[in-house]
Structure 1
Amino acid sequence: MANLGHIYRKNGTVYGESEKKANLSNIYRKYGTVIALFVLVLIISIMNSKFLSMYNILNVFRQVSINGLIAFGMTFVILTGGIDLSVGAILALTGMVLGLMVASGTPDLIAIPLVLLLGALLGWFNGVLISKVKLQAFIVTLATMTMFSGITMIISDGIPAMGITKNSPLLNFFSQGDILGIPFPMIVLLVVFGLLLILLQKTVFGRGVYAIGGNEEVARLSSLPTDRIKTSVYIISGVMSALAGVILTSRLSSSQPTAGAGFELDAIAAVVIGGTSLAGGKGRLFGTLIGVLIIGVLNNGLNIIGVSAFYQQFIKGLVILLAVILDRKSSR
Structure 2
Amino acid sequence: MLLRWLLLIAMGLIFTLANSYFLAPGNLYSLGESFSLLGLVALGLALTMLVGEFDLSGGAMVAVSGLIMLKLGESNAFVGLAAALAFGAGVGALNGLLTLRLQVSSLVTTLGVMILLSGFAVWLEGGQGVSFSNYDLTDAFNASWLSVLSPRSVITIALFAAVGVALAITRLGRDIIAAGSHRKAATMSGANVASAVLSAFIASGLFAALAGALLAITLGRASSTFGANLLLQAASAAILGGIALSGGVGRPFGVAIGVLVLCVLNNGLGLIGASSPVVMLLNGAVLLVAVLVDGAPGQWLRRSRAAH
Q: Tell me if the contact between 2:3 and 2:290 (Cα under 8 Å) persists in the aligned partners.
A: no
Which stretch of the first structure deviates more once superposed, 122-131 or 196-205? 196-205
**Distance change in 2, residues 1:141/1:323 (3 Å):** farther
Q: What amino acid does structure 1 have at the position aligned with 2:105?
A: Q
Which residue of 2 is the match for residue 289 of structure 1? 256
Q: Tell me if the contact between 2:73 and 2:81 (Cα under 8 Å) persists in the aligned partners.
A: no
Q: What amino acid does structure 2 have at the position aligned with 1:177?
A: A
Equivalent of residue 193 in structure 1, options 160, 164, 179: 160
Q: What amino acid does structure 2 have at the position aligned with 1:276?
A: I
Which residue of 2 is the match for residue 127 of structure 1? 96
Instruction: Tell me whether 1:66 sits opposite 2:25 in the alignment.
Output: no
Which residue of 2 is the match for residue 173 of structure 1? 140
Which residue of 2 is the match for residue 257 of structure 1? 224
**Distance change in 2, residues 1:326/1:137 (3 Å):** farther
Identity of aligned residues (%): 31
Gaps of 5+ in 1: 1-29
Distance across 1 between alignment mates of 2:47 and 2:10: 28
Which residue of 2 is the match for residue 54 of structure 1? 25
Which residue of 1 is the match for residue 303 of structure 2? none
How big is the shift at 1:186? 1.5
Q: Tell me if the contact between 1:123 and 1:239 (Cα under 8 Å) persists in the aligned partners.
A: yes
Which residue of 1 is the match for residue 211 of structure 2? 244
So what's the TM-score if we normalise by structure 2?
Answer: 0.91
Q: What amino acid does structure 2 have at the position aligned with 1:178?
A: S
Equivalent of residue 67 in structure 2, options 86, 96, 114: 96
Q: What amino acid does structure 2 have at the position aligned with 1:140?
A: T
Q: Tell me if the contact between 1:172 and 1:250 (Cα under 8 Å) persists in the aligned partners.
A: no
Q: What amino acid does structure 1 have at the position aligned with 2:28?
A: I
Q: Tell me if the contact between 2:186 and 2:193 (Cα under 8 Å) persists in the aligned partners.
A: yes
Which residue of 2 is the match for residue 112 of structure 1? 81
Instruction: For residues 217-239 of structure 1, give each alpha carbon's deviation from its aligned partner in whole angstroms, at most 9, with x where no partner exists.
Output: 10111121111110110000001
Superposed CA RMSD: 1.7
Stretches of 4+ aligned residues off by more than 6 angstroms: none
Equivalent of residue 108 in structure 2, options 139, 142, 146: 139
Which residue of 2 is the match for residue 76 of structure 1? 47
Q: Tell me if the contact between 1:119 and 1:235 (Cα under 8 Å) persists in the aligned partners.
A: yes
The structure that has the greater radius of gyration is: 1
Q: Tell me if the contact between 2:70 and 2:217 (Cα under 8 Å) persists in the aligned partners.
A: no
Residue 17 of structure 2: SS of its match in structure 1? helix
So what's the TM-score if we normalise by structure 1?
Answer: 0.85
Q: Tell me if the contact between 2:68 and 2:83 (Cα under 8 Å) persists in the aligned partners.
A: no
Q: Tell me if the contact between 1:272 and 1:327 (Cα under 8 Å) persists in the aligned partners.
A: no
Q: What amino acid does structure 1 have at the position aligned with 2:278?
A: Y
How big is the shift at 1:57? 1.6
Residue 132 of structure 1: SS of its match in structure 2? helix
Distance across 2 between alignment mates of 1:285 and 1:331: 22
